[in-house]
Structure 1
Amino acid sequence: MSERVMPGRTDGLITLVAADALWVGLTADSAVPTASGAFASPARAQAGHVLLGSHVVATVRASSGQWSVPEVEVRRAAAELNAVGMDRQDLVRIGPFRRAPRRESNEETPLPWRRRITEELQELSDPERAARREARRPYPLAGIDWRHILVEQTRNGTQRTWWMPRAVVRLLDAAEHTETQWVQAARTRQASTAATEPPSHPRQPSDTGSRQKTNPGTPTPALRPYNKELEGQLYSVLSRKPGTSRRVAGWACAVCRTAPATVLDHCHEHGYVRAPVCQSCNTQERPDHLYSNDIRVANRYTRLFHTDTDDWLRHWHRCPGCRARTTLPLPHLAAWTAHIACRSLRPTHRAPRGRKPCGALRVSWTGSQNAPRSCLLTVVVDFCPSGEHRVLARVPYREAVERFRAWLTETAPAVAAAAGPDRLDGLPAQSRPVIADTSGEDLELF
């Protein structure tokens, strides 16, 4: 493939046309599908950079006026993307939601990828808007062909929801963060240059025989690991402080520790901040469907309560209320009860490779954790071939708590040892009522 782009090179630079062909060729076997046209937008080139995956490639304007990019950066971006694994069954909902997350007025995100995808999908139902967008020929999102991996689901026969593989969501979140940091650094350099330049000596035009180059400057600063800086703080107070969103963006996700944090995860039962997390991890702990007292227990709980149990239990117990009571918020406890405590009760059916669990688990509850004597969890199987809504068990809240504590001691002894009422002082005598989360549809109670 490199032979085809060699003629466009000049001191390690290749033209945008050659870079586009190189990008598509190098990523042809990538698990994440890519598309041509990432370099086609003149506006992106004039902005000084092109985004490929989560990698920023600086654009360079030669003396001839032609835009180019360093070939080595294109190859580096392709290698990073090719290293991304993708499970098409591990999906994260990306919209639409009733309302977008609130952002501070002084924040600017060059790549609001969720909003852009939502707008493009909504335009499909409007022929005039779709025609105008087709005329503009929008550039691919970070060089990724997201349309080939988008999954559309219909709920209640009418409402459409959009989903994408978790690996791509994390990739686009990282891309959004990287580009935001790059643009902010570029603006800072421009402001610094303008401030230090003497007003009596206006900037002279550069030599027409030299190459004008846009340099990304210093690399994006490394994300800070989260070290309990927000422990014990109430989300209702912290979320109202100016600059909180910008501060959160400087941390690495406290769960996966690789992606940039985008939100403050908090316990809706006690109101305490847990930690800054990325959008993918924040979504991972949520079930497919969530109502006021009824949740669908998705297959992703295998990861939460099996493969990555220790990490998630430590994260949930960052809430002082949950840690002191050695329990989980009611929806998490309900999911654990259905997925772990009632596992042996779930029927199975014959499958080509052995037997597979029947239907889909769902758990509902009456009452709340504030009235534990009257709170009852009901675990059922939906879509069972032998009869839908088959009841597996009815578990009192207090019994579910005791089962969880015994399981926690066996599964994560270090987490259990750090829990209990003698570990913390100054907590409220009673649990706070469940706090409604208005940040998005079907995201309450977690």
Structure 2
Amino acid sequence: MPEPVIDDRMGGLILLGAADALWVGLTASSAVPTASGAFTGFPADARVGYVLLGGRVVATVQTGGQRKVPESEVRRAAAELNAVEMDPRDLLRIGPFRHLPRRQQTEGTPLRWRHRITQELRELGDPEREARREGGRPSHLAGIDWRRMLVEQTPDRTTRTWWLPRAVVRLLDGAEHTETRFLQVQAARARRASEAVPEPPSQRQARATDNRQTTSPDCPTISLRPYTGELEGHLYSVLSRKPGISRKVAGWTCTVCGAAPAGVIDHCHEHGYVRAPVCQSCNTLERPDHLYSNDIRVADRYTRLFDTDTLDWLRHWHRCPGCRARTTLPLPHLAAWTAHTACRPLRPTHRGSRGRKPCGVLRVSWTGSQNTPRSCLLTVAVDFCPSGEHRVLARVPYREAVERFGIWLADTAPAVAAAAGPDRLDGLPAESRPVIADTSGEGLALF
């Protein structure tokens, strides 16, 4: 692809059409598919003064009656997107939900990508509503061609569900957060300017001339601060009602992945304590996959929770003082760990094209609860096994599962295990709260 012609006298600014071509050329080998109309195709609108490219805000400049953008900013955005790794099999459900997450209901950003995708997919097949849409259907979101990655599933053959790769969800959440902060900064500057003493006409004219000649628009860099335990020991039921807590959470990075802006406060449902702020993606990854209130699937995502990213997740779960003091996990997570890790050697395998592979789908259920440890029993089974569906692999008492987890924790994450122990029970409730199971698949903000 030929490089766009850049007028050095304009300080490296290029026309929107050239920016579109440059964006596509630079991201041709990216794992995340991009769109050709990143600057000129709906919903991008350069007239508002900026365009979103991935997680970056690229401000536009009006010169000579035309909108232009700095070539260097387009290249930076492309380099950031090219560095993103995407696993197309690691999917995250994005809808439809009966109720949008609470963060989405209060979000006032123009992107609102979940709302846009939901609205468009619901309008498919309705010619009259489609014809009323000004400018046609969205071709991209923040320069990303989400249609090429959208997966539609009908698990019960009646209800459609929509899924996107987790990396793309993080990108779009980051773009939404960056846009919100950018608009807040711009609004604050506008307020300060309106309250300032008016400039003499000569100075105002000179400043306007300088702005037209600038080589790079004033686009503030939005930075997030790392979380350092400010909410530790707080009860979620109290903290979630405090005014302004959502705004405070949005200023932190996710404590698990460290790459995306935090969106919700994760908390332990057994003890009620706040763990830490996390992004929507990590919040959903941690969420138990309930079939019923006492029955969960052990999906492939548990490989990340207990194998590849184990240390980060164990440290996160043990931010709850109750779990840390008792050297355990909430019952659904402990059950998943028992099935995925402790009972792994018991799972049948079958021959495949690339060697032997585990068969079926792991499922773990329990009777009783953590409040009655003597009678609580975990049952690990494998569904859809060719040698016998619903085959029971093991029945593990709750106390035995806790002991096994404690031994494994000491070997896997010694630093996390060293911070736990029964000598840190001061201030904890005498009896754990019952598990709050979310079986509807709707309330992502709960976890």
Partner of 2:413: 412
Unpaired stretches in structure 1, ≥5 consecutive residues: none
For 1:197 and 1:108, the matched residues in 2 are separated by 31
For 1:47 and 1:183, the matched residues in 2 are separated by 11
**TM-score for the superposition, normalised by structure 2:** 0.92
Q: Are 1:218 and 2:220 counterparts?
A: yes
Partner of 1:394: 395
| Range with bigger deviation, 267-276 or 415-424 | 415-424
Q: Are 1:262 and 2:269 counterparts?
A: no
Q: Are 1:110 and 2:110 counterparts?
A: yes
Partner of 1:295: 296
Counterpart mapping for 1:33-112 below 5 A: 33-40=33-40, 44-62=45-63, 64-103=64-103, 108-112=108-112
| Range with bigger deviation, 392-401 or 14-23 | 392-401
Instruction: Tell me the SS of whatever aligns to 2:365.
Output: strand
Partner of 1:194: 194
How much has 1:416 moved relative to structure 2? Answer: 1.3
For 2:291 and 2:132, the matched residues in 1 are separated by 38
Unpaired stretches in structure 2, ≥5 consecutive residues: none
For 1:148 and 1:8, the matched residues in 2 are separated by 37
1:378-412 Cα shifts (integer Å, max 9, x gaps):
11112212222221112121221111112112211
1:104-160 Cα shifts (integer Å, max 9, x gaps):
987522322122111111111433222333744535200000011111122222222
How much has 1:201 moved relative to structure 2? Answer: 7.8
**Percent identical residues:** 74
How much has 1:235 moved relative to structure 2? Answer: 0.7
- Kept in 2, the 8 Å contact 1:186–1:216? The answer is no
For 1:101 and 1:262, the matched residues in 2 are separated by 10
Cα pair distance change 1:200/1:259, threshold 3 Å: same
- Kept in 2, the 8 Å contact 1:361–1:382? The answer is yes
Amino acid at match of 1:235: Y
For 1:355 and 1:328, the matched residues in 2 are separated by 31
| Range with bigger deviation, 118-127 or 13-22 | 118-127
1:17-41 Cα shifts (integer Å, max 9, x gaps):
1111111111111110001112115
For 1:49 and 1:392, the matched residues in 2 are separated by 57
Cα pair distance change 1:104/1:282, threshold 3 Å: closer
For 1:209 and 1:276, the matched residues in 2 are separated by 42
For 1:235 and 1:210, the matched residues in 2 are separated by 48
How much has 1:271 moved relative to structure 2? Answer: 0.8
Amino acid at match of 1:274: R
Instruction: Tell me the SS of whatever aligns to 2:39.
Output: coil
How much has 1:194 moved relative to structure 2? Answer: 1.0
For 2:377 and 2:184, the matched residues in 1 are separated by 52
For 1:248 and 1:441, the matched residues in 2 are separated by 21
How much has 1:75 moved relative to structure 2? Answer: 1.1
- Kept in 2, the 8 Å contact 1:253–1:261? The answer is yes
Amino acid at match of 2:385: C
Instruction: Tell me the SS of whatever aligns to 1:177.
Output: helix
How much has 1:436 moved relative to structure 2? Answer: 5.0
Instruction: Tell me the SS of whatever aligns to 1:167.
Output: helix
Instruction: Tell me the SS of whatever aligns to 1:76.
Output: helix
For 2:411 and 2:8, the matched residues in 1 are separated by 63
Cα pair distance change 1:159/1:378, threshold 3 Å: farther
Partner of 1:354: 355
For 1:107 and 1:274, the matched residues in 2 are separated by 23
Cα pair distance change 1:431/1:288, threshold 3 Å: closer
- Kept in 1, the 8 Å contact 2:6–2:12? The answer is no
| Range with bigger deviation, 436-445 or 275-284 | 436-445
- Structure 1 vs Structure 2 CA RMSD: 2.7
